[in-house]
Chains A and B, each alone.
Chain A
Amino acid sequence: MLLRQISSRSHLLIRSTITLLIGIVLIFAGSCFSGEKKASATETTTSLEEKSPSSRHLQKVRYTMKWLHQAQFAGAYMAKEKGFFQQYGLDVEILQGGVDNPPYKALSNGKTEFCCMNLITAVEKNNSAFPLINLAQISQKNSSWLVGKKTAGIKTLQDLNDREVGVWRNEAGDHIRYFLNDNEIQAHIIPLDWSINLFLYDAIDMMNVMSYNEYHRILMAGVEPEELVVFNLSDYGYDLVDDGIYTSKAYYSQHPQLCKNFARALIEGWIYALDHPDETVNVVVRYMRENHLPANYNHQSWMLAHMRERILENPDKVGYLKPEDLILAEEILKRNGKLTYPVEYKDFFLQ
């Protein structure tokens, strides 16, 4: 046993040494030759990292989701489940995000190679020291709504002045805060976790929800849609797309083909998931149960069905980030004094 461990470690050591030597050679070559030569170096890397049979050595990478396991991230589960990641030479570990493991923090700390973030979060967090790359824009529609009960007497946005509005704490609710600010709403913002109970028990007048998630949970607490007043942020110029796949520019520079492969495999996973909703929901629920999360087929089916609308908004351009979406996010941040690192579209989104 001990011998086998030693033998395994020796193998790893040899393999690491060879990889390091190849890396040094490539860096040296890259620094000596012109831009064209750099391209050839990239091509060399690409040739090593192209889609390959699963028998080849798989590159281990980590993917941190925006939130906890649920159908919102079904593409990743199905890409792993159906072997799309493996086909692209990847062994992907899917990690939960959320309050305990914010994706940007995980990415910047090197605890993940890829993560899922809202576009506006990514643009806000982006900085010259650690620039980000959008590998694929999964969700192509705004999903943020503000929801209140009609009994609270709120009819227009202006009615929110001096009212209690529940907004997710941290980066998940930042765009809501900018939205209220842009609309000059002086509301009492109550920072929330994921619970909808404050809303249900009338402790707050309104709360922010994702149309594919919390809105359904409110309905599934016995509230009828006609009892609710909904402000869709899209109707107020806030047509912000949310879930996108990000990596750092530094990582992308080192593994461009790997990054492209990751995005392709993930999109293929999504296509499969949307084509096989029943199978997918079963996998999602399995992930949730393995991680001791409340798992509900009904809710996850509903969520997957609503993700379909967002992902297939433009079926010919799945994963495409529209330039105007980037511009909108930057404008909002600029208005709110949060834009520290304006970027060119071509430098931000991987075409």
Chain B
Amino acid sequence: MKKEIKPRTIAFQIISFMFIVLVVLFIISLFTTGRLIQSLMESNARESFGNITKINVQTIDQTLSKIVTLSRNLELLIKDKNHYEADLNLHIRQLLIDNPEVVSICIAYGSKPYSSNNTYLIRGENFLINPSYSDDFSFKDWFLLPQLTEKPYWSDPWFDSDGTGTIVCSYSIPLFLNGKIDGILRLDTSMENLRQIVSSVRVKKTGYAFLVSNNGTIVAHPQDSLAMNYTIFDLAEQFKSPKLRSMGKSIVNRESNFVHLNKIGIPANIWMFYQPVPTNSWSLATVAPDAEVFADLHNLMYIYIGWVLLAFLIIAFAIWYRTRTINQPLEKLVDSIQKSQSGVPSSATLPISDTYEIQVLNTSFNRLKNSLKKYAESLQAVTAEKDKIVDEVTFASEIQLNLIPNNKKTYTIPPGISAFGILEPAGLVGGDLYDYFSVDEEHFLFAIADVVGKGVAAALTMTMVSTLIRTSAPQLKQPEKILTYMNKFLIENNPDYRFVTMLLGIIDLKSGTCTFSNAGHTPLFLLSEDGNITKYARTHSTALGILENLNASSETIQLKSGDEIVLCTDGITEAISTEDKLFGTDRLEDVLKNLKNPDPESTAQAILNAVKSFSGPNKQTDDITILVVKYMNLN
């Protein structure tokens, strides 16, 4: 089943089409420009993160490198055999005062009693020298690592209970005596100083920095629960992020990079730049969430989307307004036509428009309107003429009907004869005819005829024929002569060459003979009182009005009392059923066979009923004429 398409206005169609086009263009544009801007912003973020990281790495490194320099100076002083212990203490005191980055100093000798190992620090205004209370120090990283590796060592942050009692980060260098390690010199800086540098870093809105030691331990982080508790690899394991672990290795390997990490807690997606601190190989990492790194991009995209929506609304409004302006004349025209009961009202005009198509339509419409007006006028005249003709034809029809015998007027029929005729024209007037009348006291004429064609012309021809029969019969008295005369008249006075089929007979009332002549008409049926049916199909001439020299003959039959002469036109025999079958003469004979005690009227009605029943609801296409004449021998 074909789906009915709901009609849409032009504005709706244009706007929805424009919307689809704009959406497609917008998506393509958003994708391409978005990618370009994202790439640009990534590059900017790398630079921006890099700068922030580098500046803070330098700040941290300045502190650490200063400690390295101070440790070398102090190492030289300690190695100098000429100094006194008091001088060393004074020097250390001054060093601690002049360099607040150094919060304590320790000189430890593995070979000496632990009480001879001292930690130097300033508390308030006091210079303190704390001796060790146990040999625990000899198991600490700051002591063991430089001792075993014979290299300087930057420790992880640790709690110095012998010194400041705070968390410090230490730089230890081995002290050599005669080529062998004699002890360790350790300078401590407060982890709090480094933590403050790190915590002061701000990246974007909520971004931050954190410090990672060279074994991956997070040593300073704005989130206290992470600092000194987790390594970067712990987080990788917790977040199940191989990428984070790989990044951790890159940090531990002292590399620098700008990376994007997905799904690593809250916020889930971050950007990170990391760079090692040259002096101690720790790394500083700066972090900011995706949303903040691309905040400008997102804002730009929101503005872009906003502009596109606004542009679409403006375009949609403009299209709607413009199509409405264009449509208005059409809508008014349609309204006025719809309000009009019929046709195009003369008031229906398209307003003047600057649209080319509307102007063309206007011109065409005016032309159409004028031609319609002319047509309507012409139609009106024709209709009036037609009505007049119809009136006249109706009148002619009445006259025609008056020409044929009225079955009720039996005074024109001689005794012993009864007749009944039926004429049902297909139109207002018909081309069929039946007639019967007494030619004189001894002769009774009956005739049935069919003019080729239908309508007024056929009716007039038939009127002419009817008149001719009536006028010529008293003189000529013989059927063949009457037909010959009529043929001659028709040839001479029938410019349209309308031929006529006719069967005309005269009954001699005295002898009971019937002489008839058939000019191309349907057969005559003789229905005896005993039920016998005789069919007289022979024609005695061609139809009338065709051949100039017509040699008509006739045929005489002896009637018995009670015989019925049954005549009909081809409207009976050629009646068509709904199955496209002809009624034919056989069916007609069947009708006649089944008649019980027939008389002319019942016979004629029976034939008519049988034909109508046969034709069914089919419209009558030809005139139907039946004439039945019954002879009774009164002698």
Contact = CB atoms under 8 A, between A and B. Distances in A.
Interface of A: 99, 164, 169, 190-193, 195, 197-198, 200-204, 219-222, 294-299, 302
A295 B228 CA distance: 8
Interface in B103-119: none
The CB with the most chain B CB atoms within 10 A, among A220, A295, A299, is that of A220
Contact of B148 (A99, A203, A296, A298): A203
B225 interface: yes
B282 to A, nearest CB: 13
A222 B230 contact: no
B149 A203 contact: yes
A190 B148 contact: yes
Dominant SS among interface residues on chain B? helix
A143 B156 CA distance: 27
Given A222-B252, A294-B228, A200 B215 contact: yes
A21 B252 CA distance: 67
B234 A222 contact: no
Contact of A296 (B141, B156, B234, B248): B234
A226 to B, nearest CB: 14
Given A222-B215, A222-B216, A222-B248, A191 B148 contact: no
Interface string B387-398: 000000000000
A99 B145 CA distance: 20
A222 B246 CA distance: 9
A263 to B, nearest CB: 33
Given A164-B148, A298-B237, 9 more contacts: A193-B136, A193-B140, A197-B141, A198-B145, A222-B245, A222-B249, A294-B229, A296-B234, A298-B238
B548 to A, nearest CB: 129
A201 B248 CA distance: 17
B233 interface: yes
Interface in B182-216: 215-216
Nearest to A164: B148
A298 B140 CA distance: 25
A238 B145 CA distance: 30
Contacts of A221: 215-217, 231, 233, 252
A198 B148 contact: yes
B229 A99 contact: no
A345 B155 CA distance: 47
Contacts of A220: 216, 231, 233-234, 237
Given A296-B230, A298-B230, A169 B139 contact: yes
B181 interface: no
A59 B237 CA distance: 43
B195 to A, nearest CB: 16
Contacts of B155: 197
Nearest to A204: B148
B557 to A, nearest CB: 129
20 contacts: A197-B141, A197-B145, A197-B156, A197-B215, A198-B144, A201-B145, A219-B233, A220-B231, A220-B234, A221-B215, A221-B233, A221-B252, A222-B216, A222-B233, A222-B249, A222-B252, A294-B228, A296-B234, A298-B230, A298-B235
A197 B141 CA distance: 7
A191 B139 contact: yes
Nearest to A200: B215
B364 to A, nearest CB: 85
Given A197-B215, A221-B215, A190 B229 contact: no
